[in-house]
Amino acid sequence: MQDNPLSDIRLGQVTKKWAENNHLYTHYSASVESTNDLAKSLAFDEKLLEEPLCLFLADHQTAGRGRGKNTWVTANPGSALLSSWSYLLGAKPQPTTSCLVGLAVYRALSTTWPFLPWNIKAPNDIYIGKKKVAGILMESILQGDEVRIIVGLGVNVLSSPADLAIAGSILEALPAGVPLLGQDWTACLDRLMFEMTDAISHCEDSLSPSDQHSLLMALNAHPLLKSKYTGLEANGTLLVGNEKINWWEL
């Protein structure tokens, strides 16, 4: 990736090649309204019924969404990973799935670039220090006994919106002399698919003690956190002193 001018790189296209090499059903568009909306519209399309994982990619979204009324803004077309990972399930996911997917994305990114100060802002944002780099939007679609859970994942990789002071990117956070290599991005995608698929496979489970501890450390590493979390229960309930906060209500 470093051998090409950044303006020529289209992460959607790069990621599409990786996905096809991994034999994933992949839908790539240069521009869409929302990868999540597209994934939802095709959730139970006849030709996708046998696909356990479908990946929807774009280099630009005209109506990218976050949780609630939030929007997802990209600096330049092709500079961010704009993706929706559509998993076919046999059971309805539990509220802990959101915790597990957030931890999965955090683990993939922090494993690829372990020298950066990664942290999580509950419930769905991944930061490097005080800069938001990634956001997650999860939605479920039901048809009879089948469920598709769609994980919308946006990651600022090459740049971040200049008018959003809190936004950052992986490239901007790298130390001087440490380039963003194509092999790093491929390794990140490999890890991301492994971690997210493992998380989805446990969508009916409570959080394990190791997951609880890992999440608590990542949450309390967030430098903008006003009060440290004192605990995280197996069902995803956060503790701040005597107060209980449901993860899925944040």
Confidence at residue 2, expressed as pLDDT on a 0 to 100 scale: 43
Inside any domain, residue 233: no
The string of pLDDT tens digits covering residues 124-141 is: 999 999 999 999 999 999
Inside any domain, residue 11: yes
CA distance between the termini of the chain = 37
Confidence at residue 16, expressed as pLDDT on a 0 to 100 scale: 95
Which two three-digit tokens encode residue 110? 């922090």
Look-up of token digits 């938001």: 132
Inside any domain, residue 218: no
Inside any domain, residue 35: yes
Residue 178 has pLDDT above 90, yes or no: yes
Inside any domain, residue 100: yes
Per-residue pLDDT band for 20 (boundaries 50, 70, 90) equals: very high
Inside any domain, residue 224: no
- Round to whole Å and give the CA distance between 203 and 92: 8
Q: What is the mean pLDDT of residues 210-217?
A: 96
The string of pLDDT tens digits covering residues 188-208 is: 999 999 999 999 999 889 999
Per-residue pLDDT band for 143 (boundaries 50, 70, 90) equals: confident
Supply the range of the domain harboring residue 12: 6-206
How many structural domains are present in the chain?
A: 1
Q: How far lies 14's CA from each of 11, 22, 46, 186, 199, in Å?
A: 5, 13, 27, 9, 24
For 28-51, letters b (16+ CB in 10 Å) and e give: bbeebebbbbbbbebbeeeebeee
Contacts of 91 (CB under 8 A, 6+ apart): 147, 203, 204
CATH of the domain at 52: 3.30.930.10
Per-residue pLDDT band for 240 (boundaries 50, 70, 90) equals: very high
Confidence at residue 9, expressed as pLDDT on a 0 to 100 scale: 76
